Structure 1
Amino acid sequence: MRRDSEMKLGLYLAWAGYHAGAWRDPSVPANGGVDVNHCAHLAALAESAAFHFIFLADSQGISDNQALIARSSYSGGFEPITLMSALSSRTQDIGLVATATTTYYQPYHLARMFASLDHLSRGRVAWNIVTSAFDFEARNFDEKTLPDHETRYARAREFVDAVKGLWDSWQDDAFIRDKHTGIFVDTTKLHLPDHRGKYFSTRGPLNIPRPPQGYPVLVQAGASEAGIAFAAEMAEVVFTAQPFLESGKRYYATLKEKARALGRADNQVLVMPGIVPIVGKTKQEASDKLQRLQSHIHIDVLIGGANLWLGSMTDLHSIDLDSLLPEALPQTNSIQSRQKLLVDLAVRQKFTWRQLIQLLSDSNGHLMVVGTPEEIANVMVDTFDQHGADGFNVLPATVPGGLKDFVELVVPELRRRGKFRSRYSGQTLRENLGLKRPLNRRTQVGASSSP
């Protein structure tokens, strides 16, 4: 199927902004993580620009590093499904992507919550499927450490299969609600999932009708070998960190090839890398914005954040930060793909530890573009045209200011070049993304031919 000529755009909803120093910026509300009006304002800005969705990341806990906790804003925010429920009533068209882990939920819980959220929003919901990545999460669920990397992905695969079965408990037209006959639901259109696997058993059925979209859109962010295989099989939108065009093109080609081998069409697996745009009327103005943000960051935040993303495999307090990184670090059981990406980047750029730590606080390994609206649009269009992306998850360094700059300055430039839409084209998130609505697998095989 033909690739869309316009890119997709999502907003990564960070309370203060994506930069580690954002919360200290005078223009940023310090309590944004628990202020629903602030979150609704950001959603409204994105919706006014016809963004496809807002995306909310999550973790089931916070770091044990007290110095990092004290000086960073990461621990002060809403749980995603709760917030998206609130935002569903304060938005009309934009998609709502909520993160939920397959490691520490049960399939019935999540199937029911996401089905409810899809109904509340009239078909605008997506599930960002993650496996928990840190041992501090495990300790909130009566475990000392995470399951190993391969086990987490095997569990995730079965989890998604069980959730789909629960979403397919009822055929789309099962709930007839006929007051004349007294029949509320046609039980001949009920199908018991009765999933019994290695990791889960859930009989079903789900006690809510099938979601308006059939299934909420499935989003995933894996880039390890296991993660790419999972994304090729399951994901409809893939969020990835790709700081360079050439590596992004390789990732894009690899993922699409693996998906095609499984019988999936290219335009049903959308690759959307993150981009951190810092916009200025001149490049110098944009650079000054970045330097001001960098000045807000304490060394404890720099080192604590780097430890998390690098898998806590090196004691950064005991090494010479001005020495070059080695070509490899011991493999982590945390986020393996991000650790590898960052080490490869540092070796390629001949970074010192200090330079890598600074980059992590700026962008966490995502593509960062500091410049004018034209320069940022150039990078985005070039990446899109060279098949390094189907669109981008935009990670403003600060909010609302950084998002407002992008909406008012970069989006018009993308539209002028014919690369981004000016209005919503469908009612559901699937329709707006050009994704097919899955048929109930209990009654039919395959998927419908139209979005």
Structure 2
Amino acid sequence: MTRPQHFGWFLARGFGPQGWGYASLDWDYDWTRPEIYQEAARTLEQAGFDLVIIEDAPSLGSPETIDLRVRHAFGGPKHDPLLLAPYLFQATRHLGIVPTVNPAGLLPYTAARQFSTLQHLSGHRLGLNVVTDTGSARHFSDAPTLDHDGAYDRAEEWLDGIRSLWRSWEDGALVADTGTDVYADGSRLHAIRHRGEHFAFDGPLNALPFTDGEPAIVSPGGSGRGLGFAGANSDVQLALAPLDEASVRAYRAKIHQAAVDAGRRPADIKILFAIQPVITSSADEAERIVAASAHPDDAALQQIARKQSSDLETDLTSLDLDCPLDPAVFGAHVSQGSIRRLLGDRGPEAPLRAHLTALARAGRISDRTGFVGTAEEFADLIEELGEWGNDGVLLWGDFHPVTLHRTLDELVPVLRRRGILRREYAAGGLQENLRAF
């Protein structure tokens, strides 16, 4: 029997210029206004998606590379997704909204109170994508920048502190009895006093306790420390891994072991693999797209170089396409994972053209070499992932309505006919929908 899967959308551009660089920009949506995001959120809810995760990067990067990030709007500008969330909650009734938050940028008491407010306003549909971006630290204080693992330690202290504040109202503290004129029992509020390595604050929290669960915690980290953080804290793990059976099962086993090591059950965390499919109307169209991608021209390679330059904060566009790419061009601040994704298994003697051509090359869903194919072929892949025990997938893209409809119009009916995609939501908010199957 086909297993239903959880579906989410990763808003990869964040609260930024939706449609920039594409012909769909001429639909004349204003990315700074809420309407385009509300329209997209309603579409995802109609499609039966569980949640949308809104990427964010508080920083424009190092002063030397700001122009690389803003020239083509790959790395900015971006507005604060936490402030977009209320508009999306107002436009929907069931969809979970998950803005990205940085523990360096919000003090625990302020964060706990703001998140609690949004959880109540939304009917318990808030999630938090906790990202330990060390590159943004200089915007929040002049404290020394933490290393990779140190940033996770701070995030863990931050989240533990927020949860202690959320739980500072014990069961029965909220009375709300009009007969006795007692709204709350102050003897059941805990006087939290936190003095940690990174934060100091007191409670209890001046906000109501939750009735349908705390905000869902999402995490994207793939390092050993990141997987440990997810196992101990997260309700959803944003997963990046090759989608073959061995890789999927191995990744899930690592997350589940991390959960067990933290005293949790494997079922407490949903693992959603991120995929950016290109849905075509026919197999012939898919073949044409794949064939065309095998021999990109220099203009196509330069477009890829511009995006990679933003992600890697290194100007690849100024380098000779036909010379070897020396890894020494990347500064110490650049993610090693991002560098590995660019270089792949090609040696240091490979020219930049080879690396960019590999990124340009598309593959077919039908033979599992890529993600170009028909809705039926994509549904086959999702069913296969389900047979390996998978919990669901995150589709990937901007929030322009053209992008969503190009991806979903043919796909949603196929997924629903096969019993993979939900038709109804559970009562009780995002946490209940994640636990529904």
Contact 2:100 2:128 in 1 (8 A): yes
Question: 2:21 corresponds to which residue?
Answer: 24
- Displacement of 1:56 in angstroms is 0.6
Question: 2:158 corresponds to which residue?
Answer: 159
Contact 1:238 1:270 in 2 (8 A): yes
- Displacement of 1:111 in angstroms is 0.9
CA offsets, 1:78-109, max 9 Å, x none?
31111111211111011111110012221112
Question: 2:418 corresponds to which residue?
Answer: 417
Counterpart mapping for 1:252-271 below 5 A: 252-271=252-271
Contact 1:325 1:346 in 2 (8 A): no
SS at match of 1:176: strand
Contact 2:14 2:81 in 1 (8 A): no
CA distance in 2 between counterparts of 1:355 and 1:384 reads 34
CA offsets, 1:319-344, max 9 Å, x none?
5434566799979545444444554x
- Displacement of 1:402 in angstroms is 2.8
Deviates more, 1:258-267 or 1:186-195: 258-267
State the AA in 1 paired with 2:4: E
State the AA in 2 paired with 1:226: R
Question: 2:281 corresponds to which residue?
Answer: 281
CA offsets, 1:49-86, max 9 Å, x none?
11001111111121343144122254244311111112
Closer, same or farther in 2 for the Cα pair 1:202/1:176, shift >3 Å?
same
Closer, same or farther in 2 for the Cα pair 1:67/1:159, shift >3 Å?
closer
Closer, same or farther in 2 for the Cα pair 1:168/1:278, shift >3 Å?
same
CA distance in 2 between counterparts of 1:178 and 1:50 reads 38
Closer, same or farther in 2 for the Cα pair 1:96/1:319, shift >3 Å?
same
State the AA in 1 paired with 2:139: N
Closer, same or farther in 2 for the Cα pair 1:325/1:287, shift >3 Å?
farther
Deviates more, 1:53-62 or 1:328-337: 328-337
CA distance in 2 between counterparts of 1:193 and 1:126 reads 24
Which 5+ residue runs of structure 2 have no aligned equivalent? 363-368
Deviates more, 1:72-81 or 1:252-261: 72-81
Counterpart mapping for 1:100-111 below 5 A: 100-111=101-112
SS at match of 2:428: coil
SS at match of 1:71: coil
Which 5+ residue runs of structure 1 have no aligned equivalent? 436-450
- Displacement of 1:125 in angstroms is 0.8
- Displacement of 1:256 in angstroms is 1.4
Question: 1:58 corresponds to which residue?
Answer: 56
Alignment: residue pair count = 421
Question: 1:396 corresponds to which residue?
Answer: 397
Contact 1:242 1:273 in 2 (8 A): yes
Tell me whether 1:272 sits opposite 2:272 in the alignment: yes
* TM-score between both structures, scaled by the size of structure 2: 0.84
RMSD over aligned CA atoms reads 3.6
Contact 1:33 1:77 in 2 (8 A): no
State the AA in 1 paired with 2:380: N
- Displacement of 1:279 in angstroms is 1.1
SS at match of 1:375: helix
Tell me whether 1:44 sits opposite 2:45 in the alignment: no
Contact 1:286 1:372 in 2 (8 A): yes
CA offsets, 1:371-407, max 9 Å, x none?
11112222222223224x3111111367312311333
* TM-score between both structures, scaled by the size of structure 1: 0.81
Question: 1:191 corresponds to which residue?
Answer: 190
Contact 1:149 1:333 in 2 (8 A): no
Question: 1:383 corresponds to which residue?
Answer: 385
Aligned-residue identity in percent? 28
Question: 2:372 corresponds to which residue?
Answer: 370
Closer, same or farther in 2 for the Cα pair 1:322/1:424, shift >3 Å?
farther
